[in-house]
Structure formats: structure tokens, C-alpha cells
Amino acid sequence: MSIYVTKPYLPSFEEYEKFLKDIWETNVLTNQGKLLKKFESELSAYLRVNYFHYVTNGTIALQLALKALDIEEGEIITTPFSYVATISSILWERCKPVFVDIEPHNFTLDPQKIEEALTPRTRAIMPVHVFGYACDVEAIEKIAKKHHLKVIYDAAHAFGSFYKGRALSSYGDISTLSFHATKLFHTVEGGAIIVQDEYVSQKLDLIKRFGHREDKHFYLGINGKQSEFHAAMGLAIFPHLTEIMQLRKHVSDLYDLYLERHLERPKSQKYLEYNYAYYPVLFHNETELKRVFEALNAQNIYPRRYFYPSLTTLPYLKNKQSCPISENICSRIACLPLYPDLKDDEVKKICRIILPSLGNRNLAA
């Protein structure tokens, strides 16, 4: 049987079916139904936030965030080390992504390089909490306030991570989440927007539903609504969240036991309660990474080059920028398989394949 980089967690069919019965009884499939409201309420309480909007997916969440903050043109400072959706959302909203290189320890946007990238056209900063690790939220907030900029965190990886007692996804003017099937907590497809300001939240509530309330139109809107079926999946999985993260931690700890002396890993962060969203490792170079992938693939094991390539290299960007740290990291980073029911023997097998493929290193345990 093949082992992939991730495997969606599914509740028992009976747990999901219980919520489906509600849908059949009410005949409400979408348009802010009972289950969606319950889902928003439960996650708001878990994250300890006031304004939580469940939407279609994490990319739409970023686009809606830009719209709600009236950022329709101008430049957005962002990271080259992320999934392509981070910058595609900027481009779709007719803004220009301006890349700032990353720091080498947790691969997040380097705040020391932000100010030199600012211009009179800069409207916002869009950092990413990569792999569930925290950006330097204090430094970014200080820069944003100094230059009167908005901060939109792409927190797609950050659900379940807490920093200094706060949900990591509660920082910034807006934070967005992804509940795609590949995430540690999912609703098959889905995303969320967490807002600090009540007025912005009210505006978001309108623009995600075409911009009108009954027959009165307020804003140019879009269909960002989510369905009762997706909310039902979230409600069925949510009670298992603690167990899911504990099992992921167990797998991560096993990898650490066998690999930590041989492969570089992100640096642990003070004050961060980590969610164990991914298990990224850094190889010495791309040649070594490809050699390991070849050995794993031969045994039907499929890690992922995540993220690759550096977004600075995308062919459709008009203005090329150099971010050498991101480009270097992207060439030699990968995420190993990680999901709750990955067996101990499977983890050991993965590590036994990796270690001999690492070249001339001291592998004495």
C-alpha cells in the first residue's frame, strides 16, 4: 500500500450521518444554515475570537480579506515561500506582490527586510505562518503601525497553533485559514476569515454573500458562502481535534528520534504551542533530496517538495525579484508523510530508507 505525504482524517460515517439528518429535516443546504452557524460558533469559542467567517476555501478567504480592507490596487509585501494561492489572491485582486526574503530558521517573512521594500504604493503586508510556525508578529505589527499598513496573515497552516496564549490565527487585522482536505483539520473544502474590527466583519458578511441583504445592495460581492454539508464534516471532526494533534505529535516525535541528528529541522519557538501540521526537513542540497525521493518512491512512499518552487520564479510574474534564501530553501526542503494513523513501523521504514540515501554522513545512532 502506498504512503502519501498526507491522508485526510475522516470521522465515523455515523458521526457524519448524524448531522446529515439535520440537513434532510430542514431542507436547508446552504445560505448560512443552522450547521454553518453552529460551526462558526464552536470554532470562534475554540480560537477565542469574536468575528469568524466560514467561507468556500482559503484562497477566497484571502481575496475577501483584501476586498474587506478596501485594498484594490497597490503593492502587498509578501513572502516567496508559500503555496501559490498566497500570491494568486493578490494578483486576482489586481494588486502587485512585492517579495521580501525569509529568515532561515522557520522560513517565515523576515521583518528586518520589510521596510527597505516599502514604497508609497505599499498598502498591506501578507505574511504566512509557514508549517504552523509563528511569524514575528510583534515586529510585523510594529512596522505596520509605523507605516499605517494593514496586516493580513495567511494562516492556512496555523489552525491549532497558539502563540503567547492566543490562537496564532488571531493576530493581524485579518487572518485567513484553510480547511482543505490536506489540512490537519478539514471540512473537505473550506476556509475562514478572522477579523479584529466589527465594521470590517459586517462588511465581510455582506461581500461573501454577493454584497446585498434581501433587496438592498451595499457592496460589490462574490459567492464565498459555504454549504451545510461542509459544515457538517467540520462539526463531525472537530471533537477529535485534540486526538488528531496528539497522534500527529507522536509521529513527529518518532521522526525526531530517528532523524534529528541527520536532517535539519525548523527551529523550535518560545511561547508557541505547535499544531504538528507538517514534518519539514532540509537536505544538504537538491541532489540529495532527489536521491532520497527516488529511494522512497521506489517503495511507494511519496513525500512532497513543499514549497517548491520559490514563488519568485513563477513564469507569469512580470517583475522578477531575487530572494536567495527562499530559493535555496525551496531547492532542498521536503515534507515527510504525516497523518494520525501513520503506523510506527511505517515511520521506521521511511527513516530506514532515508538514512542510507543521505550521502557521506556519520549515521551512528
The residue extents of the domains of the chain are 3-238, 241-358
In this prediction, residue 365 carries a pLDDT of: 37
Same topology, domains 3-238 and 241-358? Answer is no
- Looking at residue 253, what is its pLDDT? 98
Domain 3-238 sits in CATH 3.40.640.10: yes
Tens of pLDDT, residue by residue over 268-316, are 999 999 999 999 999 999 999 999 999 999 999 999 999 999 999 999 9
Look at residue 320 in the predicted model and tell me its pLDDT.
83
CA–CA separation, 184 and 172 (whole Å): 22
* Burial category of 118 from C-beta neighbours within 10 Å (exposed 0-12, middle 13-18, buried 19 and up): middle
pLDDT of residue 360: 62
Residue segments in the chain with a per-residue pLDDT below the cut of 70: 360-365
User: What's the pLDDT score for residue 319?
Assistant: 81
- The pLDDT, as a whole number, for residue 270 is 96
**124 within 8 A of 285, measured Cβ to Cβ:** no
Residue 27's Cβ-count burial label (10 Å; 0-12, 13-18, 19+) is exposed
CB neighbour class for 12 (10 Å; exposed up to 12, middle 13-18, buried from 19): exposed
Give the whole-angstrom CA distance, residue 356 versus residue 334: 17
**Confidence at residue 318, expressed as pLDDT on a 0 to 100 scale:** 86
For residue 307, say if its preceding peptide bond is cis, omega within 30 degrees of 0.
yes
CB 302 within 8 A of CB 4: yes
Main-chain phi, psi angles of 122, to 5 degrees: -70, 130
pTM: predicted TM-score of the whole model, two decimal places: 0.96
Given 3.30.365.10, 3.40.50.300, 3.30.390.10, 3.90.1150.10, which CATH number is that of 241-358? 3.90.1150.10
